[in-house]
Chain A
Amino acid sequence: MSKGIDRGRIEMLALFIMLIMGTILHGSSVARIYLPAFRYIGALLTGVMR
């Protein structure tokens, strides 16, 4: 019984790590695509602050 519970937990942890790793791997390779948007928002916010 406890073995079954452990397997479930391990599966869940593996799944969690897979999702996080997938996101980091993909996110880091496309970050440059999203950078201009951040720059724009940054400039916008700076403008508003002034």
Chain B
Amino acid sequence: MEMGCLFVTLAIFSSYYVLFSSPRTESVLHRLLSSSVLTCAQIILTELVLGLVHQLYLFPVIIVNLSISGLVVMMGRRSVRNDGSPFLRKDLLRGMDAVRASLDVPAAVLGSIVLLAYAWVLVASYYLPPRGIDDLAYHLPAVFEYVRSHEIRLLPVTTMQPFAYPENAELLFLWPVLFTHDQRMVDGANVPFVLLSVLTIYALLRRFSLSRKNSVFAALLYALCPVVLMQAGVNYVDIIVSLFLLLSLYFALLYHEHRRPGDLFLAGLTIGLMCGMKYTAPFLALPLQLLILTALPKGKWRHALGYVSVIVLAGGWWYLRNAVMLGEPLYPMHFQSPVPDGLVNARGGSVLQNIGYNLPYWLVRYPLLDSGVGTYDGGFGLVFWGMCFSSWIYATFRSTFTFRRPDIPKLVVLAYLPSGFLLLLAFPPRVVDFNGRLAMFVVAIGLFAFGEVLQRMANELYRAVIKGICIALSLITVSLLFVSVQPGYLFGGAMSDRRHRVEASEFKYLAGSAELHSVLRPAWEALDLLTRDDPAGLNCLVASDPPLYSPSPVYGSRLQNRVLNMSNDGRGPVDAYVCTYLDKDRLEHPAGASGAPTIRDIMAMPDYLAVVQSEHCCLMLRRTIFEQPEKQRVLRAYYRAEWPEAVKAAERLDTKLDANIAIIASGEIGYGVRCIDMEKKRPDRVYVTPDKMMEVIAERENMRQCYTFQRPLSGYRSRKIWQGVYQNKDIEVYLNRRS
């Protein structure tokens, strides 16, 4: 199905390429960028419309998109060059000439590093599961829910407020999932947009008459900026938002220069799509209006009206929906009210107060610390702070002091760097360290200034030294992939498992990921193993403390499960509970579930058995499902693979225990005993539960006697019957009898 996705995407792209192939269209680059924008627009809008009418099935999506492409091709053929030349061949030759002219040794070396780095990112996306923190909390759950339910609707914001955010970018991530119905490779969905960003930066630089070699060198550096490299492997939307901002700038510049309605339409479309991706996007689109408003012909309201209509059409839906359903178009954002943070003052600070508070810290430390580097949250990198920032200062001063009217477009582009910083400064001080990603486009603007400096540097030696340093710094940046955990990029373990034919769930490899995911991994991994070969899947309910709420892995690697929390009423027969908690001794009410059972209540339910439990998570499975032979086989293999030492200890212990007496276990030995019982076909008698819940379980089951490990059961007469060693620690077994 991956090939199907590629084929349909290519068909859409080709149809627009044909449409733009008239002799009036200026360059191959322009055709590539215009066709890419329209491809994204068509994908987003067709998915949205079909989703809203509950028809988000693969077949209608393919039929509708191919039909539109057919119409576009028919329209395009009318305007195709009438000189009879095969334009595609000509474009190909022109493109190859451009590549040959652009690639000197530094650009070729940098290009090779980009290819290797992104090949690594893609291979990691193949072997590892999705692993961005926001991805698992709200970006991907929305995508998976829309694919599973075949409709696009407002998801329950009582559980997760970001479900109300605009989702144009998520609809781009949804596109491949619709074909594959799988979580594999979803994390690689940002990679094409990074490459398109490189192309856009190249086009922007070329608009200002920079040489091909310098333009391609500067543009490639964008792909090797740390925050871009780290975000390329997750489903954060910042790369796409930055790309569409750069595209808006490109088309606005074209319109400002040539005043062609087509460029105005494309500028409006890119701005509209961008506004439909993130709440900050409308603010980002403000400075470039200077280019558009000054170029709009006086008295021709048709153009202005068309421009605004395209923006509203491409991005307005989400704001309209929120206004109607939630009463606020920007729900849950309150840009006008103070942001509580406890640092500016007790009630929080206004945007201006935040800027005032952040500015001194920013000026003194931010350029030196580059906070967030090595994570998907930030890090503009060595090349940006070392080369681009100083280049921007130089380019801005030079353009300001030698100002002429034709320099306005260049100054508007350069103004996006302080605008980006202003955006970061406006956030509450507590998050200022971590949100560089929100203004990722400043790197592109810095590279724009750097390209200009390279162009000015007439001395070949200076230029060679600077480019050499940039290559070395980029190599250092790529080395971050070895140690990053947000996201992790090491896939050796997964590859080795595959080679040795170990049947593992992809979620197993979250063990080396961000702590939030590694501690919740056991429940997600066990659930996926139990359901991945069962197309019917299970009805799952996530009972979670709000900070840990991450429904995406619960869908399973093949999207086989249903997550009841994502339905409008959150009700239905529950096959499995996925409980995630910050403190296993405080099992309170889960996120968004007032009146619903607490996590403690769920863990005490008699119809459900804990399959796995740890410090921060527990998977409870309905007893009748647990007893199915296929599930027993999977669990047996899982326990043996995951806790081999516990199984060995249980084998030693087996002769000491009466097979008719129940066991309440809070530790790993419980899995071992359960595994041995399964192998000997005994009825299940092991209750896996957190330490503090042992008495609750004993009372619920009205046990007259039971075994416990580590500590005796309070309220019972207990006798130590065995002592041994497990993982270098003493372990004691108690027989508890009701007194």
Contacts and interface: CB of A to CB of B under 8 A. Distances in A.
Interface of A: 8-9, 12-13, 15-16, 18-20, 22-27, 29-30, 33-34, 36-38, 40-41, 44
B45 interface: no
Contact of B369 (A9, A16, A30, A37): A30
Contacts of B479: 34, 37-38, 40-41
A24 B368 CA distance: 11
Contact of A19 (B368, B370, B386, B482): B386
Please name the 8 residue pairs, one residue from A and one from B, whose CB atoms are nearest each other, closest first. A23-B386, A37-B479, A26-B385, A29-B368, A22-B390, A40-B482, A16-B462, A36-B483
Contacts of A22: 385-387, 389-390
A37 B453 contact: no
Contact of B386 (A15, A27, A37, A44): A27
B231 interface: no
Interface SS of chain B: helix
A19 B480 contact: no
A26 B382 contact: yes
Interface string B453-471: 1001111001001100100
B476 interface: yes
A49 B76 CA distance: 59
A23 B462 contact: no
A33 to B, nearest CB: 5
24 contacts: A9-B459, A12-B456, A13-B462, A15-B456, A16-B462, A18-B390, A19-B386, A19-B387, A19-B391, A22-B387, A22-B389, A23-B382, A26-B370, A33-B370, A33-B374, A34-B476, A34-B479, A34-B480, A36-B483, A37-B476, A37-B479, A37-B482, A40-B483, A44-B482
Q: Which of A19, A25, A33, A36 has the most CB of B within 10 A?
A: A19
A41 B478 CA distance: 11
Contacts of B456: 12, 15
Interface of B: 367-370, 373-374, 382, 385-387, 389-391, 394, 453, 456-459, 462, 465-466, 469, 473, 476, 479-480, 482-483
B458 A12 contact: yes
A19 B453 contact: yes
Given A22-B385, A40-B482, A33 B373 contact: yes
Contacts of B465: 16
Contacts of A41: 479, 482
Contacts of A29: 368-369
A16 B394 CA distance: 11
